[in-house]
Structure 1
Amino acid sequence: MQWRNNQHRYGFVSIMLHWVAALTVFGLFALGYWMVGLGYYDTWYHRAPDIHKSIGMLLLALMVMRLIWRHVSPVPPPLPTHGLVTRRASKAGHLLLYFGLFAVMIAGYLISTADGVGVSVFGWFTVPASITGGSTQADVGGVIHKYAAWSLVIFAVLHGLAALKHHFIDRDRTLVRMLGR
């Protein structure tokens, strides 16, 4: 398998970055959904948020790498069978996914650092609290984080359904290119 993207398909690095990010987003969403229902005396009450924050910070780093990789190895052009509406919808959809990802992660960072303490990533290193202040930072960040996360997951499901539509109804190579075949 090739490492970089070419005119016809995605390379190994792009495919891995895509699927690792996708699985991580759904895993973090499930963890976040589960942990908001925990009681104060539950053994996971403090552990789950620490895991959630650590994975979120690693995902943020992964997404920055993914953006850099898109410039190093540009994505393949749309398939010739895709019309103007499909190309524009695809571009807009991908921009919304990226925007949603970064909105969720930045809001999560703002929640976690509202008290001026950095985010420890599994005890390996700490992401410093560079933006602190205001008594409402955690509350506003929490609202944004919640609604952006729900929007992101819903939109990611729609993204997946669109890929399945391309594969089973349009019978084109859109999905196959991201599966590495």
Structure 2
Amino acid sequence: MVSVLVNGRVCKDPKLVEANDFFFSGLHLAGNTSNAVGSRVTPVGVAQIGGLNALGITAARIDFAAWGLNPPHTHPRATEILTVLEGSLKVGFVTSNTENRLITKVLQKGDVFVFPVGLVHFQQNVGNGNAVALVALSSQNPGVITIANAVFGSNPDIPADILAKAFQVDTNAIYSLQSKF
């Protein structure tokens, strides 16, 4: 028997497919938000549901502690649609480099917001209680680039003089930021 790869994943023989190939249990469980940013993303992609392979979608649950943040990030291969299940979230994205305009809104339970493919975006809980959101992404491999982690936590480090010039700050500020990642 020859294994066939699609999108880097083994495609299961359709005659051997079963319900568990299209199933995930766990989105009812709160993610641990006791971290530096106060949020946790629980992904539901092809790694969790093999049957998603080649279907072009993924999902995730995002849990937020009070005032927790899903930091500025981008999905280079997917548009994201977010639904607030509990709490209130301030969400936003920045338009392309030509304008750098911030589009932002405070969402309540049941509200939906769309983040266009590739744009830097964020979500922040603006309440004193926990918040929960469910997201869907238009790719089985949306990718995620968290801006601060990528810039200040690269391995090896981006040279401090380059970042200092780019951010127009002193190199000591860059060293301080890099030490946090």
User: TM-score range, shorter-chain basis?
Assistant: under 0.3
**Structure with more contact order per residue of length (Cα contacts < 8 Å, sep ≥ 6):** 1
Q: With structure 1 as the length reference, what TM-score do the two structures score?
A: 0.28
Bigger fraction of residues in helix: 1
